[in-house]
């Protein structure tokens, strides 16, 4: 099956329309990933088909979580080469997006992608989540904080939940088995002001992959002591 059809089917399954101009943007983005990956370490996934399935379609599948379709703004923590934030933005041009990463080379790449694709209402920022979460215009300012492949549930909760408004959501994109991680992260989620609301299993077209979206609702303000200073969450996770 050609890439357009594959992505079109995946999008339709999530109730999304997939116009040609969106596809064109994905293809430019894919080619930029391959080109930049030769000088900057962006991703271990470098084959066209794998990029389409494991990066693009996997990111788009987050729209299975309904509130993502009508939230106003979103922050992607530890976005790396732009996942899931760039695909989410291409699919919903009206969504306000902030991409955050602690590696400046990746942020430079993201700025190039934003320019080349002509995306408006998106910015890439360089720094640690623990530092930005203490700034007034970031803390508790987002409808959704989302993250893929950055840390386990306890650590990730400390990096993401402080950014979410009361009533908003933290979406953790996880692999096939999440039960143990969720049990270990439950206490951290609660301490940080969240409540695990749902776990949504998603499949990726034309693969055997099954991933999970862990949905955490923000039910109260994050205590001021969190996040602790950069690196502490990873060294001493809340247990």
Q: What is the nearest approach in angstroms of ligand SAM to the Cβ of residue 20?
A: 26
Torsions phi, psi of 195, nearest 5? -145, 125
Does position 159 interact with ligand SAM (CB under 6 A)? The reply is yes
Distance CA 124, CA 65 (A): 24
Q: Give, for 5, the enclosing helix (H) or strand (E).
A: helix 3-13
Q: What is the nearest approach in angstroms of ligand SAM to the Cβ of residue 46?
A: 13
Per-residue contact track with ligand SAM, 181 to 210, x per CB under 6 A?
Answer: ------------------------------
* Residue 27 or 149 having the CB closest to ligand SAM: 149
Does position 128 interact with ligand SAM (CB under 6 A)? The reply is yes
Strands (E) located in the chain: 73-77, 96-101, 122-126, 142-148, 164-174, 194-203, 210-218
Number of residues that bind ligand SAM (CB under 6 A): 17
**Residue from the set 69, 73, 102, 108 that interacts with ligand SAM by CB under 6 A:** 102
* Residue 7 or 159 having the CB closest to ligand SAM: 159
Three-class SS state of 97: strand
Q: Write the CA distances from 162 to 35, 156, 220, 221, integer angstroms.
A: 35, 11, 10, 8
Does position 100 interact with ligand SAM (CB under 6 A)? The reply is yes
- Using alpha carbons only, how large is the chain's radius of gyration in Å? 17
Does position 129 interact with ligand SAM (CB under 6 A)? The reply is yes
Distance CA 178, CA 229 (A): 27
Does position 60 interact with ligand SAM (CB under 6 A)? The reply is no
Stretch that binds ligand SAM, among 27-35, 77-85, 112-120, 199-207 (CB under 6 A): 77-85
Binding site for ligand SAM (CB under 6 A): 78-81, 83, 100-103, 106, 128-130, 148-150, 159
């Amino acid at each position: 099956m050609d890439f357009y059809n594959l992505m079109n089917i995946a999008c339709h399954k999530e109730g999304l329309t997939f116009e040609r101009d969106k596809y064109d943007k994905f293809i430019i983005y894919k080619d930029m990933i391959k080109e930049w990956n030769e000088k900057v370490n962006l991703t271990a996934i470098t084959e066209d088909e794998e990029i389409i399935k494991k990066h693009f379609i996997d990111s788009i599948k987050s729209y299975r979580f309904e509130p993502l379709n009508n939230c106003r703004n979103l922050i992607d923590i530890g976005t790396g080469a732009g996942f899931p934030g760039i695909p989410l933005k291409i699919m919903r041009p009206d969504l306000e997006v902030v991409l955050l990463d602690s590696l400046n080379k990746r942020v430079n790449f993201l700025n190039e992608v934003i320019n080349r694709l002509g995306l408006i209402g998106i910015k890439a920022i360089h720094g640690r989540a623990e530092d930005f979460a203490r700034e007034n215009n970031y803390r508790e300012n987002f409808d959704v904080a989302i993250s893929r492949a950055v840390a386990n549930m306890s650590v990730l909760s400390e990096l993401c939940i402080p950014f979410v408004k009361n009533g908003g959501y933290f979406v953790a994109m996880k692999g096939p088995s999440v039960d143990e991680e969720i049990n270990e992260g439950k206490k951290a989620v609660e301490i940080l002001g969240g409540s695990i609301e749902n776990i949504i299993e998603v499949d990726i077209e034309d693969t055997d992959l099954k991933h999970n979206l862990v949905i955490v609702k923000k039910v109260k303000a994050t205590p001021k002591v969190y996040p602790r200073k950069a690196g502490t969450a990873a060294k001493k996770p809340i247990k």
